């Protein structure tokens, strides 16, 4: 591996992945299961979690992916299971940037792979909560198949004041897989910016804010 472009930490997690499901998934008896990615783009990730008292106490995963996908998900699994496991709400706060920091970075063209673990964890938690009987929400339309990025995430990006595709990409890594969605997202982004140009956060938080009140009274 004379031309290895990754940190020693990534190399270690790639060659010796932690919490990788090596047996039959039926034997794991998961409380929640998530799957993200697309075979067409090369990376597919699946994760199984066990939950007790609101804490993720065990986690296993499998992937058809590259060294970055394997290394980042292996690291994520260690982060979640450290000290007996994380509360669900704490685990969901882990970001791709947190994983990258623990890994010592990734090659620029592979950073999108660090998002897979983050997204598959969220998918597994969603599945767990649905099994518990929480009300199902209408799923948001997927606008980047490779990374599982949704239109709702684009709405939140615009609501947060982001106005360029580059800003949205930094937030979600959308378009860093096959890249076929970029033009479509840029067009949708322009439409949403125009749509929300005279709106405030009211449409998202459902509250009356001063700017909304002032427009009403004008």
- The pLDDT value given to residue 206: 41
- The pLDDT value given to residue 178: 87
Residue in 113, 144, 146, 181 annotated catalytic: 113
- The pLDDT value given to residue 112: 62
**144 included as an active-site residue:** no
- The pLDDT value given to residue 42: 62
**41 included as an active-site residue:** yes
Residues 37 and 101 in one domain: yes
Give me 85's structure tokens.
Answer: 């496991």
Residues 56 and 151 in one domain: no
pLDDT tens track for 63-82: 887 777 888 899 999 999 99
Q: Classify the phi-psi angles of 191: left when phi > 0, otherwise alpha if psi is within -120 to 50, otherwise beta.
A: alpha
Number of domain units in the chain? 2
Are 119 and 148 in contact by the 8 Å Cβ rule? The answer is yes
Is the pTM higher than 0.95? The answer reads no
Residues of the chain falling short of pLDDT 50: 1, 198-218
- The pLDDT value given to residue 164: 92
Residue 2 belongs to a domain: no
Residues 81 and 183 in one domain: no
- The pLDDT value given to residue 105: 75
Nearest by Cα to 115 from 177, 183, 39? 177
How far apart (Å, rounded) are the C-alpha atoms in residues 123 and 46? 9
Residues 91 and 199 in one domain: no
Residues 37 and 80 in one domain: yes
Domain span at residue 14 reads 8-131
pLDDT tens track for 27-52: 888 999 999 876 665 678 899 999 99
- The pLDDT value given to residue 50: 96
How far apart (Å, rounded) are the C-alpha atoms in residues 1 and 186? 39
């Amino acid at each position: 591996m004379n031309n290895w472009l990754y940190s020693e930490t990534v190399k270690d997690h790639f060659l010796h992945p932690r919490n990788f499901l090596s047996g039959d998934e039926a034997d794991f008896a998961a409380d929640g299961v998530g799957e993200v990615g697309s075979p067409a783009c090369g990376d597919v990730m699946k994760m199984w979690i066990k939950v007790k008292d609101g804490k993720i106490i065990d986690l296993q995963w499998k992937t058809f992916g590259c060294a970055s996908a394997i290394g980042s998900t292996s690291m994520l699994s260690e982060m979640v299971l450290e000290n007996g496991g994380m509360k669900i709400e704490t685990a969901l706060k882990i970001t791709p940037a947190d994983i990258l920091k623990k890994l010592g970075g990734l090659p620029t063209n592979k950073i999108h792979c660090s998002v897979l673990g983050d997204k598959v964890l969220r998918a597994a938690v969603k599945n767990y909560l649905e099994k518990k009987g929480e009300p199902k929400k209408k799923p948001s339309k997927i606008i980047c198949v490779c990374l599982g990025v949704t239109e709702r995430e684009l709405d939140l990006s615009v609501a947060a004041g982001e106005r360029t595709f580059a800003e949205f990409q930094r937030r979600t890594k959308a378009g860093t897989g096959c890249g076929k969605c970029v033009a479509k997202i840029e067009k949708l982004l322009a439409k949403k910016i125009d749509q929300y140009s005279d709106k405030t956060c009211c449409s998202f938080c459902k509250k009356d804010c001063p700017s909304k009140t002032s427009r009403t009274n004008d």
